[in-house]
Amino acid sequence: MKKDIGIHWRKSLIFTVILILLMLTLSISVVRWINYIEEDFSFEQLHGEAARAARDVQLYAQSDRDQLEMLAVLVAAYDNPASPELWRLLSSYETIGTMHDVALLLPDNTIITGSRQKINVEGRISFEEEAARGAHISNREASVTGTEDYVIRHYVPVIRNGKTTAMLYGVIRLNELAQTMSGTLGRKDAATYLIDGKTGDFLLDTWHKSTGNIWELGEREMAQMMLLFAKFRVMVGKNIIPHAEGAYFAARDNSWYGEDYKLPVYDYGNCYCVEVPCSVLFESEQYDVSHIVFVKNIGL
């Protein structure tokens, strides 16, 4: 009888242990699933906010240009670009969208600022070069008004009788850009970076409140983490490349990897999309990242 009781007790203990293990396994699986769902939701939310911020930046830029072009028509009506009457009018437009000041770049490489200060910028800014580019937004540049701040200049031509007689531009102060765009940046608990795609210069960094370059990250741990996941998208029309199933960066002859870096190609209907991880661009010594090689058949 005692032996039967002992056997029954051991079976109950084994059953209890197995049940506890099953419950622990289920609990761990549920926790992992919840964490995965929350992480996936967070990435989706950040992706959506980033896309919205990008659209807002484009809208800001277009709105600024529309207003600058309107002012350029007014400037063209004056024979003398230094006319006090003209600058009384322009001074009322000191703050336009993201711009904090307006100025005129003249053919003799002098600038008239919104405060009617005349500055010789010979060797720093070229009227000939800026006029040749037409309406455009500059890279990050140093201010010419005596401060050490970085600025962006949004240029539009002033045209009289079919000739560009001056370049009107708005000044965007990068140290005030975060405040100017506060309604666009979205979440306050996330770091926001705005980077010049051509130069890698930081135009906005809400985490460090400072400027720099993406290739010289230093102590910017958040930016380093961002680059682990960030990707550039390259869109190529099918009128240029009719068929593409794959793409790659060619390995350099001295590459210790010895293999090309394969890139996925997505069919977007009228064009192909290639996603390039930012981290791969750091390995330019290993891969020739100056151009992407497309292949018609992945098996080739």
Instruction: Specify the pLDDT at position 155.
Output: 95
Instruction: Specify the pLDDT at position 164.
Output: 93
As a whole number, mean pLDDT of residues 122-131 equals: 92
As a whole number, mean pLDDT of residues 57-81 equals: 87
Instruction: Specify the pLDDT at position 269.
Output: 79
Domain residue ranges of the chain, discontinuous segments joined by +: 1-190, 191-228, 230-295
Residue 231: how many CB atoms within 10 A of its CB? 13
**34-43, 131-140, 165-174, 188-197: lowest mean pLDDT where?**
34-43
Mean of per-residue pLDDT scores for the chain: 76
- For the stretch 3-27, pLDDT in tens is 555 555 566 666 566 666 666 666 6
Share of residues in the chain with pLDDT > 90 (%): 14
In CATH terms, the fold of domain 1-190 is Beta-Lactamase (3.30.450)
As a whole number, mean pLDDT of residues 71-90 equals: 86
As a whole number, mean pLDDT of residues 86-100 equals: 76
* Closest-CA residue to 209 (of 143, 145, 149, 142): 149
Q: Is the pLDDT of residue 275 over 60?
A: yes
